[in-house]
Amino acid sequence: QLLADGRFHSGEELGAVLGVSRSAVWKCLRRLEEEYNVELFRVPGKGYRLAEPLSLLSYELSAAALARLGWQLHFRQTVDSTNAEALRLLRSGAAAPLVVIAESQTSGRGRRGRAWVSPASQNIYYTLTLKVFDGPQGLSGLSLVVGLAVLHALRRAGIQNAGLKWPNDIYADGKKIAGILLELTGDPADVCHVIIGIGINVNMTSSAKDIGQPWTSVRAQIGVMADRSALVNFLSEALHCYMERRMHEGFSSLRVEWEANNIWQGKRCTLSTGTREVKGLVLGVDEVGALRLLVDGKEQRFSGGELSLRLDHDS
């Protein structure tokens, strides 16, 4: 936190503020470099500075904003996955609605067990856990509504060119900027919980490796470093508002809004179901959030967790 401003701080000054020796400061900074991959410059006579300033999350600001919504915050510096942490919290008796936010994830995950690249202090790793009362139908359109909420939060952060890709990806400028992972726990026939994981690329730079597809970040889009705490609060408010609308009016009331933000509305796409590929024109979504495709002149509807949509090259 002391170094977050990106300016030089001498070992002596850092040691004095923290009440430790200069060599303890040095050891601590080496851990920062090695364990958290934070790039640090050391200049004799000047001290230490980060290669770039950091926008750190604020527990106080996020907890206060969430408390206003009636949601409880569990903040972690590092965690394997905020979704995994939410599941552990539920199993240890924590009550939903609860939110887990972390500065970094060591095993962030996407759909189908794929890794979600989660460097420290650059992005948002956010999980909201809610109780689901009416079985699987209580989930209809949920992931699409979460996408709308993320889009709304991104717009408040200055991103005007973002859109949604069915079922739950957010793209800006043709590249992935955020992803959503929904996991269900408990007995779907009885009371269960849905764990809604959201990853938003905020200040991540090109130094991020191992991302197997084109990606972007808020910073890359708006050209300046974004305030992560403010974006966390925009996200919480948007989620709360869209969840309320879904609860009172159902997904069908949000369907037109979803289609208006669908990046591939009216385009020719290929849907992979795992066992086969279906080519069709994207008509939109139905009242429960299933994808509507025009295949050989007939409308077909698709839903389920293993489906994946790709834009056809000629579209």
Pull the structure tokens for residue 94: 């924590």
Closest CA to 236 of 75, 114, 109: 75
Please confirm, yes or no, whether 310 is among the known catalytic residues. yes
- Nearer of residues 141 and 199 to ligand BTN, judged by Cβ: 199
What would the DSSP string read from start to end of 190-238? SSEEEEEEEEE-SS--TT-----S-B--HHHHHSS---HHHHHHHHHHH
Which residue's beta carbon is nearest to the bound ligand BTN?
179
Closest to ligand ATP by CB, 22 or 268: 268
Among the listed residues 109, 165, 176, 255, the single catalytic one is 176
| Structure-token pair, residue 147 | 């996408």
CA 127 to chain centre: 8
129 with 184: CB under 8 angstroms?
no
First CA to last CA distance, the chain: 48
Catalytic position from the list 109, 111, 165, 228: 111
Catalytic residue (one of 7, 31, 42, 310): 310
Binding site for ligand BTN (CB under 6 A): 81-83, 105, 108-111, 116, 125-127, 169, 179-181, 197-199
Binder among 74, 111, 152, 246 for ligand ATP (CB under 6 A): 111
Is the preceding peptide bond at 167 cis, omega within 30 degrees of 0?
yes
Binding pattern for the stretch 192-211 against ligand ATP, x by CB under 6 A and - elsewhere: -------x-x---------x
Question: Which of 31, 42, 88, 112 is the binder for ligand ATP (CB under 6 A)?
Answer: 112
Residue-wise DSSP of 33-84: HHHH---EEEETTTEEEESS------HHHHHHHHHHHT-EEEEEEEES-HHH
Q: Of residues 116, 125, 258, 264, which one binds ligand ATP by CB under 6 A?
A: 116
Active site residue 176: yes
Q: Which does 211 bind (CB under 5 to 8 A by kind): ligand BTN, ligand ATP, none?
A: ligand ATP
Q: How far is the CB of 180 from ligand BTN (least distance, A)?
A: 6
Q: Which residues bind ligand ATP (CB under 6 A)?
A: 110-112, 114, 116-117, 169, 176, 179, 199, 201, 211-213, 215, 308-309
**Catalytic residue set:** 111, 176, 310
